[in-house]
Structure 1
Amino acid sequence: MRRWVKVSVTAAVVLGLGGYFAEPYAQHWMLAGSACDGAMPRDAVERLVPEDALLMGEESRENRILGSYYCGVTYKGEETKREDGSDLVAVAAYTRRDDQDREFTRAFDDEHRFVPVADGLPGFIDRSGSITLLLPCPDLGKDDEGRPRKMLVRTWIGHNTNRKAPGVAYRVAVGLTNSASKKLGCGAEPLKAPTSGAVPVDPFDDDDGPKAVPLSRAKGTACAWVADAGLPQEASDGWQVLVASNKEAPTERCDLSAQGGKYAQREWGMSFTAWYGDWSNGLTFEGDLGGPRRETATARCDGEAANFALNAYGDAPGVDEAARQRMLKRFAEDQVRRHGCSGLRFTF
């Protein structure tokens, strides 16, 4: 018998007869519908919970003055050794710029890699697997520097949950984000959850994360420019590109790589990344892919800073400094055109 059937029946027994022996099942049933003020769809919560596990508790707090909100839900199962249970989901929302800058720094850490969320959602998935969304807050006006206020929401889904079910993790994240907007007086337009797509447990695992494709398949994407980038054919049997792009997100990336063929024992590549918002001025642009060669550029987009960078690793034949700079120019110019930016400047 499926867990939700058992839980529903048991909950009815508890509520009707007061049987203390079934209290954990009743607690699970109630938390599935009421945790985080009922912001998460009950069926989505049920699908996240591992088999033979029950929801255990919830902790939430909010402060409109400080512009912050948090809610966390835990569960208990056979694999859970901790007395206080394992984390099912946790969400943290911030409307203050200082808090947002701190969270962006944590999200990118010393590596600037990320995975795009489903199209239509304004965010990305960082290396921890958190779904990070950035929304405008029309009801909060502007900050002291005259910039429109925004809300940053990070939703973390437990590593041992059943997040592979299509759309489940997104439904939970969107529900929590829409609720946080109301709680903090943001006034953001409610997001709609995609019905497909699973959030990877390990965003950068070769089997779990996004896949690179031949350059010919980049047409029509944010990385279409690579098809005419003039990459040398002698480097390998063929270059590939990993498209990590979502125009609604505050960051986009195109990763080029080549290996095999004539140089079967060698591997090389380049990562082109764009960050949108004044928060990106605090990034060091170091550590990405371990590459020692970096080229950067800046622009202004929607009244805030935009930063562009190329990190290269390996020694691809025919790709010298001049070639890397030429490709960064093509990437940055394409991004500026697509995002309506101005004032593009290169640091080389």
Structure 2
Amino acid sequence: MGGVLAVLVVLGLSVRAPVEQWWLAREACGGELPADDLEIVRSGVTLGAYEESYDAESGRYVCALRSDEDQVVVAVETFPRGRERERELSFAGSSHPPHALLPGGLPGWEDGNSLVYLMPECPGRASDGEPYRLPVSTWTYFAHSPAEQAAMLRLAVRMTNGMTEKLGCGGEPLPAPQEGAVPYRGAYVPRAEVEGTACASLATADVPEAGPGGVVRIAVADGGVVGRCTLYAPGGEEGYRDSGENRGRPLVELTSWRGTWAGGMRDMGSGPDPLPLGEGADREPESTTYRAWAVARCEGEDVGYAAHWGYDYPYQEPGTEAGPSTEAQKREWRERLRGYVTAFAEDQVRRGDCTDLRVPRAP
């Protein structure tokens, strides 16, 4: 294929020599890996090989620097358009993002296991006048401590800026993170104190089992491309304690999605109905028994808002059929979800100075 560059470099036993380690670190990923941050995230691991490929026409770029035991030290990929983008964003969007938020208004999230996704604007590759974002993933397998996580974030921003320049995206580069800044899980706030936050609509939402003692996870960040508000039941339910926190089962999830993601994407707990986020998707508002959907435009970009039940909720007695069993129950589920997404979307639109909000109609 014309315009495709592929490089594979493997060093033998001599890689243990400091000069060979320095050379491999310097040459990998087009020489763009920042030496100081790479030294931190590799955590003393001996380098062994790197591979790199780039298709100038499609904008697809892949680079992986590996240890002498063939473990990934740093991997960078772009997902411009096509099957790779659909597959990657479908996987990322279905894995309950954001695992952790990014500081400083960075447009992305951490997916867990030191995998950072950034989706900067890329006007140079837009088509049909619609805004376009370039997903770039950076994986630093050995980055776990706060210092390593901070280096991971700096490295991800550096490599993403390099990719947007390489692909001719134009626009301003992403800002470098502040010293010591790391991804963070968001805040867990008592439901009674959530008023005034990005998840304020859950303060008064009529959710069975929640009660005044519920807990809300606020995982919404300025500049983020995906946000999540999760309402948990009061703590102490056997089998539903999360990381030692005093909260029970997740009851309701509210999410926001900026830009184009992937077709057929399902969020955990949203039932059989995919989120309409792929290219050319029908973004009309709707509500079903498992998921409700609203849409708006923010700074010229499509934004979707979803409400669905938490995983394994509403609870079904063992031996009973999953889901609502009567038409009355189905109507109740649809109406509750429609109310949740409407209140959430209206609040988000006010906060984000958005326009053209459309919410599901009442039956």
Fold conserved (TM > 0.5)? Answer: yes
- Cα distance, 1:226 vs structure 2: 2.7
Instruction: Give the structure 2 partner of residue 345 of structure 1.
Output: 359
Kept in 2, the 8 Å contact 1:270–1:312? The answer is yes
Aligned CA distance change for structure 1 residues 46 and 228 (closer, same or farther; 3 Å): same
State the secondary structure of the residue aligned to 1:91: strand
In structure 2, what is the equivalent of residue 239 of structure 1? 214
* Paired position in structure 2 for 1:297: 294
User: Aligned match of 1:38 in 22, 25, 31?
Assistant: 31
One-letter amino acid matched to 1:238: G
- Aligned counterparts of 2:259 and 2:22: Cα–Cα separation in 1: 42
Give the Cα separation in 2 of the matches to 1:296 and 1:167.
35
Structure 2's unaligned 5+ residue stretches are 1-12, 240-247, 273-288, 316-331
How far the C-alpha of 1:60 sits from its partner, in A, is 1.5
- Deviation of 1:223 after TM superposition, in Å, equals 1.5
Q: Secondary structure at the match of 1:167?
A: helix
Report if aligned partners of 1:28, 1:54 keep a CA contact under 8 Å in 2: yes
Aligned pairs (5 A) from 1:116-135: 116-126=101-111, 129-135=114-120
8 Å Cα contact 2:52/2:63 also seen in 1? yes
2:79 aligns with one of 91, 94, 109: 94
Flag the 1:258–1:286 CA change in 2: closer, same or farther, 3 A.
same
Please tell me the residue identity of whatever aligns with 2:340: M
- State whether structure 2 residue 135 is matched by structure 1 residue 152: yes
Counterpart of 1:223 in structure 2: which amino acid? C
- Quote the Cα distance in structure 2 between the aligned partners of 1:237 and 1:301: 33
The match for 1:164 among 146, 152, 171 is 146
Match of 2:67 in 1: 75
The secondary structure found in structure 2 opposite 1:275 is strand
Return the offset for 1:329: 1.2
**Deviations for 1:98-140, whole angstroms, at most 9, x for unmatched residues?**
653443112123x443232223211122356521111122344
Deviation at 1:177, TM superposition (A): 0.6
The answer to whether structure 1 residue 190 and structure 2 residue 203 are counterparts is: no
User: 42-51 vs 294-303, which deviates more?
Assistant: 294-303
Determine whether 1:65 maps to 2:57.
yes
- Does 1:136 find its partner at 2:128? no
Amino acid corresponding to residue 180 of structure 2 in structure 1:
S
Q: 1:296 to 1:148 in 2, by over 3 A?
A: closer
Question: Which structure has greater helix proportion?
Answer: 1
Residue 47 of structure 2 is matched in structure 1 by 55
Mean Cα deviation higher: 251-260 or 99-108: 99-108
* Counterpart-to-counterpart distance in 2, 1:34 and 1:21: 16
**1:30-79 CA deviation, whole Å, 9 max, x = no partner?**
2334422332221111111133x222222112222111112111123xxx
2:249 equivalent to 1:267: yes
Distance 1:151 1:268 in 2: 32
1: CA distance, partners of 2:116 / 2:14: 38
1:195-217 deviations in Å (ceiling 9; x for gaps): 234458xxxxxxxx555221355
Q: Does 2:153 align with 1:177?
A: no
| C-alpha contact (below 8 Å) 1:92/1:155 kept by paired residues | yes
Q: Which runs of 5+ in 1 are unaligned?
A: 1-19, 201-208
Conservation of the 8 A alpha-carbon contact between 2:218 and 2:230: yes
Contact 2:256 2:304 in 1 (8 A): yes
Quote the Cα distance in structure 2 between the aligned partners of 1:248 and 1:101.
22
**Per-residue deviation at 1:305?**
3.6
TM-score when normalising by structure 1: 0.74
Which one is further off, 63-72 or 217-226? 217-226
1:241-275 per-position Cα deviation (integer Å, ceiling 9, x unaligned): 111112312221111101347x7897351100111
User: Which residue in the other structure is 1:221 paired with?
Assistant: 197
Amino acid in structure 2 at the alignment position of 1:36: C
Structure 1 residue 332 corresponds to structure 2 residue 324 = no
CA deviation string 1:131-156 (max 9, x = no partner)? 1111122344x31x332343221111
RMSD after superposition: 3.2
TM-score by length of 2: 0.71
Residues 277 and 347 of structure 1, relative CA distance in 2, 3 Å threshold: farther
Q: Which is further off, 163-172 or 293-302? A: 293-302
1:286 Cα shift? 5.2
